[in-house]
Structure 1
Amino acid sequence: MAKVMIVDDAAFMRMMLKNILQKAGHEVVGEAENGAVAVEKYASLKPDFVTMDITMPVMEGIEAVKRIRETDPHAKILMCSAMGQQGMIVQAVQAGARDFIVKPFQEERVIESVKKLLGA
């Protein structure tokens, strides 16, 4: 079981991911509604991995990935993007994200990505 922080500006998306991850046996230790909050919470929560939305107010996901990776180069971050954001996915991976999942979330794909991310 891994500890996860879910970052998405949409409460509904956070809830969907939370349900999928908890069902798979992971513990959701925190949630953030934008990148700035995520960067702030990451240090204190020390999650095993983070799910990070790309498009958010205040600070978007790619910038948050860069900031988190500055403080923890080994941070495991899984990007979440809507269909048609392929260009941003490339930027996210260059910023240090390990993988990405596409919305709407498919449970099997989320679990598969998390296993890959955690090296299981």
Structure 2
Amino acid sequence: MVRCLIVDDCLHFLTAARDLLEREGVDVVGVASTGAEAAERIEELRPEVVLLDIELGAENGVEIADRFRRDATGEPPPTILISARAEQDCAHLIAACSAVGFLSKTCLSAAAIRALLDEGRGNRPGEG
């Protein structure tokens, strides 16, 4: 079971995403609504993956993901950027980021998360 932290400033999305992912076998160990709160939760909860909204209120999710990697005391968990916007609308941001991938919020699923994690580890589908 994948241990996941969801970082988004929309309470409705946090609730819906948590419900969906937990039904699909993902252990959502916590949620956060700011970059600072997410950093605290990462240290406290040690998730295996962080789902991070690109547009996090006044904060930039790409910068937050890079800060997680830069400021980590150990190996930081992989970060997957999420957005209500389409991937092509965010492509320039995604390409410049340390995140392992991107998921549109409408495509969020346990299988999509696992596929991105496997890809980030260099595994072929089904090897993970």
TM-score, L = length of structure 2: 0.78
Structure 2 residue runs without a partner (length 5+): 119-127
- Secondary structure at 1:92 match in 2: helix
2:99 paired residue number: 97
2:90 paired residue number: 88
Distance 2:45 2:83 in 1: 23
2:125 paired residue number: none
* Distance change >3 Å, CA 6–CA 39, structure 1 → 2: same
Q: Is the 8 A contact 1:100 1:113 kept in 2?
A: no
Provide the identity percentage: 27
Shift of 1:113: 2.1
Cα displacement string for residues 57-84 of structure 1 (whole angstroms, at most 9, x for unaligned residues)? 2532112101111215552111111225
Amino acid at match of 1:114: I
Q: Is the 8 A contact 2:10 2:33 kept in 1?
A: yes
TM-score, L = length of structure 1: 0.82
Cα displacement string for residues 42-63 of structure 1 (whole angstroms, at most 9, x for unaligned residues)? 1121100011001112532112
Q: Is the 8 A contact 2:24 2:109 kept in 1?
A: no
- How many matched pairs? 117
Larger radius of gyration: 2
Shift of 1:6: 0.5
Structure 1 residue runs without a partner (length 5+): none
